[in-house]
A = this chain, B = another copy of it.
Amino acid sequence: MNSAAPRTGEGTIGKALDVLDLVAAQERPVRFSELLALSPHPKATLYRLVQNLTHLGMLRYDVDRQTYAPGLRLVSLAHAAWRQSSLAPIARPHIDSLSQALGETVHLAQLDGGQVLYVDKRNAADPIEMFSQAGKVGPGYCTGVGKAMLAHLPDEALDTALAQQAWFAHTAHTHTHPGTLRTELAEVRAEGVAYDREEHEPGIICVAAPILSETGRAIGALSVTTSTSRKSLDDLARLAPHLKSTAHDIAAAAANWQFPSQ
């Protein structure tokens, strides 16, 4: 059960983007027939779609291997997107000093279609490799940053966001139902920080604070991530104030240099 296409819209453009997503989702170059199997479109349609995308530089075709991979044109487009639509450029100095001060990995994320999109990451001195990198997406319902942002969503938006979650039990601690998550979100809202208690990856915990706009909307979140072998949840709780104040600083910086409401 792949997480149903939530954004799949009508129109040719939507179909084209679905194909792009599909290619990107496989973590390696794919053959036409693989795509065909995964795609709802008939052969000829998919063929033209893929061919168009290739000519447009959005896909790269390897003649020898007969495989398709996401094209580099995307990278240059994303550059613009990252600079304009992400908090990263504004937040960078702040997360830099935060990670410096704490000696732990700091993530900056934003909500995109109910999913968490990591837009920047500052690695601690010794890089423990884990699931995350700028551009990577993660689930909203079982990550610290995800919950921090969901907690500050207007009711209606929260409903749609929750409907977009996979509710897959990554670990024994994962919320698998909107109900239980909702009650935690109330807590998060009250406390101002969210915790990931090994809900996504075993052994990985984090504290996250939302970055709130003047109107109280979450425009992003940042988190300090660590492993249970290094720190306990109580340790993280002690970092919360520091985290909150950094989040506040970023919010202020974002407000100054004009920023979107959603």
Quick one: copies of this chain in the complex?
2
Q: How many residues of A contact B (CB 8 A)?
A: 71
**Most B CB within 10 A of own CB, among A13, A25, A29, A110:** A13
Chain A, interface SS category: mixed
Residue A203 CB within 8 A of the other chain: no
User: How far does the Cβ of A61 sit from chain B's closest Cβ, in whole Å?
Assistant: 9
Residue A133 CB within 8 A of the other chain: yes
Q: Assess the A60–B85 pair: CB atoms within 8 A.
A: yes
Question: Which residues of chain B come closer than 8 Å to A63, judged between CB atoms?
Answer: 261-262
Interface bits A72-99 vs B (CB < 8 Å: 1, else 0): 1111111111111110110010000000
**Please, which residue of chain B has its CB at the minimum distance from the CB of A28?**
B84
User: How far does the Cβ of A256 sit from chain B's closest Cβ, in whole Å?
Assistant: 15
Q: Assess the B55–A9 pair: CB atoms within 8 A.
A: yes
Please tell me which one of the listed residues B14, B28, B53, B130 contacts residue A56 in the complex, with CB atoms under 8 A apart: B14
Q: Assess the A70–B52 pair: CB atoms within 8 A.
A: no
Q: Assess the B120–A57 pair: CB atoms within 8 A.
A: no
Residue A238 CB within 8 A of the other chain: no
Q: A20-B77, A29-B84 are in contact. Are A119 and B72 (CB under 8 A)?
A: yes
Binding site for B on A (CB under 8 A): 7, 9, 11-14, 16-17, 20-21, 23-25, 27-29, 49, 52-53, 55-58, 60, 62-65, 69-86, 88-89, 92, 110, 112-113, 117, 119-121, 123, 127-128, 130-137, 258, 260-262
